[in-house]
């Protein structure tokens, strides 16, 4: 799986958009970008994933650059409950089970 | 429907004792995963099951660790002769078997070895 690089920590004001970057310059053509987050004392939670087109769901938007070497997770209107560690993971999805390889992630703090 | 459940939520044990951690996956999920997270660290993969078989045991840290899954459902992670470095939160996840399916995580079991 391709290696990812994320900032260690970020701050964002409540109500503003939180933009979390992820670099994955060695991504290969068949690898997808996944985002999970882990709120304190809870298990990780899936947020979104994509291959090359921008994706949006009820939680967030995922913007992937045209060369696919980086992406940005956008929380459009951050709330205090969005304070968590956010993990960017790059992998090739396969049929059947597949482990997730977590890096250190970005600790996002939403400030009132 | 119910999510992934794990028991116990907390376990305190003495060094050298054996412990069993249980995971109940989401009904119908064929894939089941075990991870652990030491204090202040990221998540570390341990083992996964596809049905009742475990194709990848590469993450188990030592032969004191074992896991089984029966009936394609409940899984048990057993740690024998526990050591203080085994102290961590042990997380279980399950997923549908298929292309890119997301993993759903349980709340974890916090293990403390004294």
Edge-to-edge strand list for the sheet holding A84-91: A9-13, A106-111, A84-91, A32-38, A45-50
Tell me if A93 and B99 make a contact (CB, 8 A cut-off): yes
Residue positions counted in chain B: 114
| Residue among B48, B102, B105 minimizing CB distance to A43 | B105
Q: What is the band of A100 on the pLDDT scale with cuts at 50, 70, 90?
A: confident
Quick one: pLDDT at residue B100?
57
In this predicted model, what pLDDT tens digit does every residue of A52-95 receive, in sequence order? 989 999 999 999 999 999 999 999 999 999 999 999 998 877 66
| Residue among B55, B59, B108 minimizing CB distance to A43 | B108
For residue B72, the distance in angstroms to the closest alpha carbon of chain A comes to 13
């Amino acid at each position: 799986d391709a290696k990812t690089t994320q900032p260690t920590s970020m701050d964002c004001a409540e109500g503003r958009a939180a933009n979390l970057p992820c670099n994955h310059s060695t991504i290969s053509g068949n690898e997808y970008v996944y985002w999970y987050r882990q709120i304190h004392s809870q298990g990780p939670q899936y947020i979104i994933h994509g291959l090359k087109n921008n994706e949006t769901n009820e939680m967030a938007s995922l913007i992937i650059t045209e060369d696919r070497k980086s992406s940005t997770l956008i929380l459009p209107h951050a709330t205090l409950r969005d304070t968590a560690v956010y993990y960017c993971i790059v992998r090739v999805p396969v049929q059947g089970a597949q482990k997730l390889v977590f890096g250190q992630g970005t600790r996002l703090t939403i400030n009132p | 429907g119910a999510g992934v459940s794990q028991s116990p939520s907390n376990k305190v044990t003495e060094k050298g004792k054996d412990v069993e951690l249980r995971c109940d996956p989401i009904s119908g999920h064929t894939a089941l995963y075990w991870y652990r997270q030491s204090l202040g660290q990221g998540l570390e993969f341990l083992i996964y099951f596809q049905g009742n078989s475990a194709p990848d045991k590469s993450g188990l840290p030592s032969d004191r660790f074992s896991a089984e899954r029966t009936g394609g459902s409940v899984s048990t992670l057993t740690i024998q002769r526990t050591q203080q470095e085994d102290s961590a939160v042990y997380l279980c996840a399950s997923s549908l078997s298929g292309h890119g399916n997301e993993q759903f995580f349980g709340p974890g079991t916090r293990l403390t070895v004294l």
